[in-house]
């Protein structure tokens, strides 16, 4: 059983449809017992770190998410919320992946937010990246990103390398939108379902 955490993200519907195309009917829930009982948990998200964490606190899900032992995937803001801290609103996050989240520095020719297709560069082998070739493209929309570190599985480059796919224990994240990333996104979601 796969569940999508109903944390108020606007991309929940499109993530759900992407999973349905892969044969997974993911329940949308904010129920702690259902999240604990799931085989796989996905935390989608679009928006800002502060309101995202406030919503998880309001739903009583912070400790629930921190206690999970099954595979968990954060998508876009969901990935950032799995990290330690976000510069966005000076927000303490879930602390499940020991990465900071920082705003892109605006420079001439580098618009923030980073929006559009960008190539992925595999940094180390992991079942989540099975079948992914270096340079394959994913679709990004974000102003904040985690730097490259021990948690990094794949990077992208936007004024410098940043973490595009991360993992630490059973917690995983994709900074891009797999549900909007065509065949590459479908493959990575399928890999997550098979972890």
160, two tokens: 């410098």
Number of independent structural domains in the chain = 1
Structural domain of 110:
2-193
Q: Is 136 known to be catalytic?
A: no
What is the rounded distance in angstroms from the CA atom of residue 185 to the CA atom of residue 165?
A: 12
Q: Coil, helix or strand for 37?
A: helix
Q: What is the DSSP letter of 106?
A: P
What is the rounded distance in angstroms from the CA atom of residue 155 to the CA atom of residue 148?
A: 7
Q: Is 177 known to be catalytic?
A: yes
CB distance 53 to 93 below 8 Å: yes
Per-residue pLDDT of the chain (195 residues; tens, 9 = 90+): 999 999 876 678 889 999 999 999 999 999 999 999 999 999 998 889 999 999 999 999 999 999 999 999 999 999 999 999 999 999 999 999 999 999 999 889 899 999 999 999 999 999 999 999 999 999 999 999 999 999 999 999 999 999 999 999 999 999 999 999 999 999 999 999 999
**CATH at residue 78:** 3.40.50.880
Nearest CA-CA partner of 97 in 46, 148, 157, 143: 148
Q: Of residues 88, 93, 136, 179, which has the active-site annotation?
A: 179
Whole-model pTM?
0.97
Pairing of strands 72-75, 40-43: parallel
Q: Is 93 known to be catalytic?
A: no
Q: Of residues 58, 69, 76, 93, which has the active-site annotation?
A: 76
């Amino acid at each position: 059983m796969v569940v999508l955490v109903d944390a108020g993200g606007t991309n929940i519907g499109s993530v759900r449809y992407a999973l349905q195309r892969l044969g997974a009917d993911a329940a949308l829930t904010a129920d702690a017992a259902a999240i604990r009982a799931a085989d796989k948990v996905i935390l989608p998200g679009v928006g800002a770190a502060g309101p995202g964490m406030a919503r998880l606190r309001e739903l009583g899900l912070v400790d629930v998410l921190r206690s999970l032992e099954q595979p968990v995937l954060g998508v876009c803001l969901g990935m950032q919320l799995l990290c330690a801290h976000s510069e966005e609103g000076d927000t303490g996050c879930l602390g499940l992946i020991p990465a900071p989240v920082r705003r892109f520095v605006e420079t001439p020719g580098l618009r923030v937010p980073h929006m559009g297709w960008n190539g992925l560069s595999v940094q180390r082998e992991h079942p989540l990246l099975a079948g992914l070739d270096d340079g394959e493209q994913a679709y990004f929309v974000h102003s904040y990103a985690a730097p490259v570190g021990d948690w990094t599985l794949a990077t992208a480059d936007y004024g410098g390398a940043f973490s595009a796919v991360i993992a630490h224990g059973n917690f995983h994240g994709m900074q891009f939108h797999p549900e909007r990333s065509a065949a590459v996104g479908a493959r990575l979601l399928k890999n997550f379902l098979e972890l």
